[in-house]
Structure 1
Amino acid sequence: MEAAAAGAGGLEVVVFRWLAFGHMIPFLELSKRLAARGHTVAFVSTPWNLARLPPVPAGLSSRLRFVPLPLPAVEGLPEGAEATSDLPPDKVGLLKQAMDGLADPLAAFLAAGRRPDWIIHDFCHHWVLPIAGQLKVASATFLIFQAALLVFVGPRWANPAHPRTEPEHFPEPPRWIPFPSTTFFHRHEAQWITDRGGARNNASGVSDMDRWWQVLERSRHTIHRSCEELEPRMFGLLSDLFRKPSVAAGILLPGPPDDRDEDHRQSSSGAVARPQVLRWLDDQPPKSVIYVALGSKAPLTPENAHELALGQELAGVRFLWALRKPAGTSNGDELLLPAGFEERTRDRGVVCTGWVPQVEALAHCATGAFLMHCGWGSTIESLSFGIPLVMLPFVVDQPLIARAMAERGIGVEVARDEKDGSFDWDGVAVAVRRVMVEEQGKVLATNAKKLQEVLVDQGRQEHYIQEVEEHLKRFKDV
């Protein structure tokens, strides 16, 4: 790396993330905060992924630079596919295989010029650790999901004593958690883990679990997009379990949208055009709308979409639904919704199958709740605006997040069948009305507001970044 003006005592840091959109913003925000504190950061990714990044403040341009490494071609991987959002789920293993082909280019970059102090990488970059060791570069793993998931998985050494290979092993917290915890999966969620979880090899030849354990065992410490206020006692437990420091970085929310990003598109006159869905929200009463969005990767079937639609119709409240096309549907929209649904709900609801500015929708005064899949990023966004939750988790850490938010009195889960995980319109309507109409909703909203006050405290959040910085300085030569 070239020696840039990092200031007295400034660190040289390389940041290298997994090729998924949900990982992009947290890694960029961590990079921006380190650069703002006087450190030099090289953000490494593939060309198309770098092109998708939002602009960074001009004042950081001298300390934060972007380094493209072309993604190697892999048989079966569509041309131009450089992120998980470009692919169906069954092709993601091929993307990992292509990413593994970046080992030599990354090694060459790290070896060129001044040796960096740190490389901060993602959960799946097991091959980065030998490269870093050979070059005597310290490495840290940055994990963008809930810390409780890492606690649930546990270290490799703890698992043989308490093997979990069948669905009945998962509906209780791991035995290495020494305090009462909601860190468990229901049976139908555990079935997904045992059938399709990260323990199986994929097209890359290395299972996600093996990647994860290799990374965690060899990196110097872990950094987490979380904080003590969201996950009390988890970071001390992680440090004990993995026998290395686990450091909270705070929630790493982006700053206010810039006029240049896609949340603020220019009209033909040159003025900033306000999206139509926000103009619709402008006309609704305060706290009267439930915003519905299940993310881009939720395994929502056409049948699920119909039950969700009918549940919203039965609940009788206003809604804004950012609806992604479920897997298995045709290119048309006719299979997404029950016949006549939009006509019957036109006076109180909007279904948008295009882009919706989620942060602005959540921040809008008309939004009273969020029906969500409990992805960690979306959960953090909603809590930062004090929005109570209607929760419909599907996979990975989403059920753990839903349990934790329900325990804190911030959200209500949609009822599911314990055996197969199915849900129906009645369960959706009951959960929506509890949050939006019934007395319980006031309590949930109050609890969400209290947590919001803590999470948006800039002094607290800056303290977490300062702790990360101190760890990077302290351990870079250990």
Structure 2
Amino acid sequence: MEMAEAAAGAGTGGLEVAVFPWLAFGHMIPFLELSKRLAARGHAVAFVSTPRNLSRLPPVPPHLSAHIRFVPLPLPAVEGLPEGAEATSDLPPDKVGLLKKAMDGLAGPLASFLADAVAAGRRPDWIILDFCHHWVPPIADQHKVPCAAFLIFHAAFMAFIGPRWANSVHPRTNPEDFTEPPKWIPFPSTTVFLHHEARRMLADNFGENASGKSDTDRLWDVFERCRLTIHRSCRELEPRMFTLLSDLLRKPAVPAGILLPGAPDDRDEDHRHSSSGGADSHQVLRWLDDQPPKSVIYVGLGSEAPLTLENIHELALGLELAGVHFLWALRKPAGTNNKQELLPAGFEERTQDRGVVCTGWVPQVKVLAHGATAAFLTHCGWGSTIESFGFGLSLVMLPFLTDTPMIARAMAERGIGVLVPRDGSDGSFDRDGVVVAVRRVMSEHEGKVFATNAKKLKELVVDERRQEQYIHELEEHLRRYKDDRGS
């Protein structure tokens, strides 16, 4: 069912919903996709973020624009946070804690927004918030507005973190405790970390940061204060996770489907290009047009993978030695001015006949959809992984942060790609490991097996009617739980 048809059949009595994502585009874009699907069913959505972030979002389709309004809340200044930095992509990783501290300063403006909405007769039926907005539910309670958490992570990772009570019963304090499934997952699972991943996960998620509160403490507060949780996933991908999460969290855990972005049009391209100073996307696509069908591996490690100069060099030399055609979207780390500072000497000259490196914005969905693209070398962020489902692409996986190692192992288990080999003690990788992984996925024989499995996964999850049913079920939960707890 197309969204416009869904809107026509949604009936009367639309909900008023405010959505408030974390200040990262990997969160804002799925929140916008959810907003569009709710708007298509006749609900009114107020999308809350900071002014610069709102200006960088892709435009809403005209037929939905009457149902979605954008609410700018100016981000407070915080010492050490660069001026104009309103999203994680504007910052090096070590400054993200300061962005959380600045975001916490939006409590007053959010309270004013709610008070004004109530005074105008537009009290929201729900606030749908993100993992880190622990301070929103107390403000919402003052205005008698219930909260739901929209968690854009792999649902298995949420089960692995678990609620506060489960961690109290089965405490985990050392990296070794995270290298096996937690006691509250009662079935075989790939939800484990390797030792080096566990050390990083402990520091990144359980450790205190510059905001003064760990990400896990924020998440636990959100778990406890929300009436339900919403997950960017589906039962076809994670068949047992939602029943388990509902039991663990003692409230409904509702899959919203994969929220696969629609194919971008030229308005999206022009908007991102003008607002982010990105690469000439048309030039990138023209280069792809000149490549043989299914010959290119697209390399995109997201905007937050903590790549060192050594990592970049080993990846570059691995691509060179693999001898494949490649398109690499390379984000410049803070403090670097040009590609020549990042890439091995002579790399671009040696690979110019079969490879392109872009340090500006690349239209990832259009690249993944292109007929020349055969595979995706990815950090396995959940958003990028979901985008790959839409085109049935096999994967070369190089995960770094948060839930990405778990996602990579789950995808490897499904037979749609391979992980780049890593050193077990520190997680480092080298050019030889890149060569092996890339050649396996791009090879004529083994590569066909990965491609076949990827196409089967696409057929399983990329079904518009089935995905629309998830939004219908979410809508029913939002109606049922808005006035009470559904009892």
Normalised to the residue count of structure 1, the TM-score between the two structures is 0.94
Give the distance between the partners of 1:332 and 1:69, measured in 2 at CA: 34
Aligned-residue identity in percent = 76
Q: Judge conservation of contact 1:7–1:39 (CA < 8 Å) in 2.
A: no
Q: Is the alpha carbon distance of 1:274 and 1:206 closer, same or farther for their aligned partners in structure 2, counting shifts above 3 Å?
A: closer
Q: Is the alpha carbon distance of 1:38 and 1:330 closer, same or farther for their aligned partners in structure 2, counting shifts above 3 Å?
A: closer
Q: Does 1:143 align with 2:158?
A: no
Q: 1:279, CA displacement in angstroms?
A: 0.9
Letter of the structure 1 residue corresponding to residue 175 of structure 2: P
Give the distance between the partners of 2:209 and 2:332, measured in 1 at CA: 25
The aligned residue for residue 270 of structure 1 is none
Q: 1:200, CA displacement in angstroms?
A: 2.1
Q: Judge conservation of contact 1:26–1:144 (CA < 8 Å) in 2.
A: yes
Letter of the structure 2 residue corresponding to residue 386 of structure 1: G
Q: Pick the aligned partner of 2:321 from 285, 289, 314.
A: 314
Q: Judge conservation of contact 1:144–1:224 (CA < 8 Å) in 2.
A: yes
Corresponding residue SS for 1:19: coil
Q: 1:260, CA displacement in angstroms?
A: 1.6
Give the distance between the partners of 2:102 and 2:386, measured in 1 at CA: 31
Q: 1:447, CA displacement in angstroms?
A: 0.8
Q: 1:100, CA displacement in angstroms?
A: 1.3
Q: 1:28, CA displacement in angstroms?
A: 0.8
Give the distance between the partners of 1:369 and 1:40, measured in 2 at CA: 39
Corresponding residue SS for 1:350: strand
Q: Does 1:378 align with 2:388?
A: no
Q: Pick the aligned partner of 2:104 from 100, 111, 123.
A: 100
Question: 1:56-455 to 2 correspondence within 5 Å?
Answer: 56-112=60-116, 113-114=120-121, 115-194=123-202, 196-262=203-269, 275-326=282-333, 330-437=336-443, 439-455=445-461
Corresponding residue SS for 2:266: coil
Q: Judge conservation of contact 1:388–1:435 (CA < 8 Å) in 2.
A: yes
Q: 1:264, CA displacement in angstroms?
A: 8.0
Q: Is the alpha carbon distance of 1:47 and 1:7 closer, same or farther for their aligned partners in structure 2, counting shifts above 3 Å?
A: farther
Q: 1:265, CA displacement in angstroms?
A: 8.8
Q: Does 1:470 align with 2:442?
A: no
Q: 1:206, CA displacement in angstroms?
A: 1.6
Q: How big is each residue's C-alpha offset from its partner over 1:298-329, in whole Å with a ceiling of 9 and x where there is no partner? A: 111111111111111121111111112245x6
Give the distance between the partners of 1:50 and 1:313, measured in 2 at CA: 39
Q: 1:70, CA displacement in angstroms?
A: 1.4
Normalised to the residue count of structure 2, the TM-score between the two structures is 0.92
Q: 1:210, CA displacement in angstroms?
A: 0.9
Q: Judge conservation of contact 1:263–1:357 (CA < 8 Å) in 2.
A: no
Q: 1:9, CA displacement in angstroms?
A: 1.7
The aligned residue for residue 459 of structure 1 is 465
For structure 2, the 5+ residue unaligned runs are 1-9, 275-279
Give the distance between the partners of 1:300 and 1:90, measured in 2 at CA: 13
Q: Pick the aligned partner of 1:8 from 12, 22, 29.
A: 12
Q: Judge conservation of contact 1:259–1:265 (CA < 8 Å) in 2.
A: no
Give the distance between the partners of 1:376 and 1:330, measured in 2 at CA: 28
The aligned residue for residue 3 of structure 1 is none
Q: Does 1:22 align with 2:26?
A: yes
Give the distance between the partners of 1:337 and 1:76, measured in 2 at CA: 29
Letter of the structure 1 residue corresponding to residue 134 of structure 2: H
Q: Is the alpha carbon distance of 1:344 and 1:274 closer, same or farther for their aligned partners in structure 2, counting shifts above 3 Å?
A: closer
Matched length: 466
Give the distance between the partners of 1:338 and 1:48, measured in 2 at CA: 35
Q: Judge conservation of contact 1:370–1:388 (CA < 8 Å) in 2.
A: yes
User: Going by fraction, where is helix more abundant, 1 or 2?
Assistant: 2
Q: How big is each residue's C-alpha offset from its partner over 1:94-135, in whole Å with a ceiling of 9 and x where there is no partner? A: 221221121122112212222211110111111111111222
Q: 1:90, CA displacement in angstroms?
A: 2.1
Give the distance between the partners of 1:157 and 1:433, measured in 2 at CA: 46
Q: Does 1:38 align with 2:38?
A: no
Give the distance between the partners of 2:427 and 2:210, measured in 1 at CA: 28
Give the distance between the partners of 1:177 and 1:363, measured in 2 at CA: 36
Q: How big is each residue's C-alpha offset from its partner over 1:425-466, in whole Å with a ceiling of 9 and x where there is no partner? A: 111100111110152221111110011123221101100110
Letter of the structure 1 residue corresponding to residue 99 of structure 2: L
Give the distance between the partners of 2:271 and 2:51, measured in 1 at CA: 24
Give the distance between the partners of 1:241 and 1:227, measured in 2 at CA: 18
Give the distance between the partners of 2:19 and 2:271, measured in 1 at CA: 28
Give the distance between the partners of 1:433 and 1:62, measured in 2 at CA: 49
Corresponding residue SS for 1:260: helix
Give the distance between the partners of 1:72 and 1:126, measured in 2 at CA: 18
Q: How big is each residue's C-alpha offset from its partner over 1:368-403, in whole Å with a ceiling of 9 and x where there is no partner? A: 110111111110111110000000001111101001
Give the distance between the partners of 2:246 and 2:483, measured in 1 at CA: 20
CA-atom RMSD in angstroms: 1.8
Question: Which shows bigger deviation, 201-210 or 283-292?
Answer: 201-210
Question: Which shows bigger deviation, 251-260 or 217-226?
Answer: 251-260
Question: Which shows bigger deviation, 467-476 or 354-363?
Answer: 354-363
Q: Judge conservation of contact 1:304–1:423 (CA < 8 Å) in 2.
A: yes
The aligned residue for residue 277 of structure 2 is none
Q: 1:338, CA displacement in angstroms?
A: 1.7
Letter of the structure 1 residue corresponding to residue 471 of structure 2: I
Q: Judge conservation of contact 1:293–1:321 (CA < 8 Å) in 2.
A: yes
Corresponding residue SS for 1:247: strand
Q: 1:214, CA displacement in angstroms?
A: 0.3
